[in-house]
Amino acid sequence: MADIKRTLPPSVGRTFGIGAILDSIDGELNALEKEARAACGRLTVENADEAGAVLWEKELGLEHPEELSLQARKALLRLALERRSTCTPQRLREDIGRMLKGEVTVTEDFAGYALQVHAHITDFTVPSMEAVERTLRKLTPAHLACTLRASASLTGSETPGRLLHAGVRMKIYTTEESAE
């Protein structure tokens, strides 16, 4: 850390009174250097702590919901930063795949100006499918209709209903119901 006496000529540190003053401000300079290093660490999304994530969310004009984990907020920040580039099926697969941790396929219907995204989910990074749908709407061009279908292999009762899986609320349909 900082040792101000090393940066000055030796005679200055030995001068009456000056040495004591330099010793007293050394602790303050160490604290300042520590805070400056922490602030620099928050400059990238990957290394951001809670305070850094709040700064990034303000900069990008995003909500900063308190219920999301830091990891989920960082995933949304990365998506917001990447959103500024051209939308391609490959990019959609990667972005939605990062949010849902699974296999994602994108089908384009050029004549119908539509995209269909199907995700087979193995794990979740975000707390709800609504967050995925909002992100998908922001990623795709406005002139394209976009449909998101998500599936997961789950075990349980055969009665359709609602389920909370890995913190994500889902409505469960049987295979027959989802085909309709």
76 located within any domain: no
Q: What is the pLDDT of residues 117-156, one digit of tens each?
A: 888 877 766 667 777 888 788 788 888 888 888 777 665 5
Tell whether 80 is covered by a domain.
no
Instruction: Read off the tokens for 80.
Output: 């917001």
Asked if pLDDT for residue 40 goes beyond 60, the answer is yes
pLDDT digits (tens, 9 = 90+) for 87-104: 788 888 888 887 777 788
Query: What distances in angstroms separate CA 63 from CA 18, 76, 152, one per listed residue?
Result: 50, 10, 28
Mean pLDDT across the stretch 156-162? 53
Report the predicted TM-score, pTM, of the whole model to 2 decimal places: 0.47
Mean pLDDT across 68-77: 85
Q: Which residues contact 170 (CB under 8 A, 6 or more apart)?
A: 129, 150, 152, 162, 163, 164
Tell whether 110 is covered by a domain: yes
Which pLDDT score is estimated for 174? 57
pLDDT value for 154: 61
- Are the beta carbons of 99 and 135 closer than 8 angstroms? yes
Q: Are residues 95 and 169 in the same domain?
A: yes
Query: Does some domain include residue 71?
Result: no
- What's the DSSP call for residue 174? -
**51 in a domain, yes or no?**
no
pLDDT of residue 88: 83
Mean pLDDT of the chain: 77
Is the residue at 8 inside a domain? yes
Q: What is the pLDDT of residue 83?
A: 67
Distances (CA, A) of 132 to 72, 124, 136, 147: 11, 10, 6, 11
Residue 103, in any domain of the structure:
yes
Which is more confidently placed, 28 or 126?
28
Mean pLDDT throughout 40-44? 80
In this structure, are 90 and 37 located in the same domain?
Answer: no
Q: Which of 124, 123, 126, 134 is CA-nearest to residue 67?
A: 126
Our CA angle for 79, 166, 129, nearest 5°, is: 45
* Whether residue 160 sits in one domain with residue 91: yes
Domain assignment of residue 131, given as a range:
86-179
| Total domains in the fold of the chain | 2
Same-domain check for residues 98 and 175: yes
pLDDT value of residue 132: 80
Share of residues in the chain with pLDDT > 70 (%):
79
Same domain for 157 and 95, yes or no, is yes
Q: State the DSSP string of 104-137.
A: EEEEEETTTTEEEEEEEES--SSSBHHHHHHHHH
Q: What is the pLDDT of residue 64?
A: 72
Question: Three-state SS for 65?
Answer: coil
Task: State the CATH number of the domain containing residue 92.
Answer: 3.30.300
pLDDT (mean) for 66-85: 80
> Residue 120 corresponds to which amino acid?
H
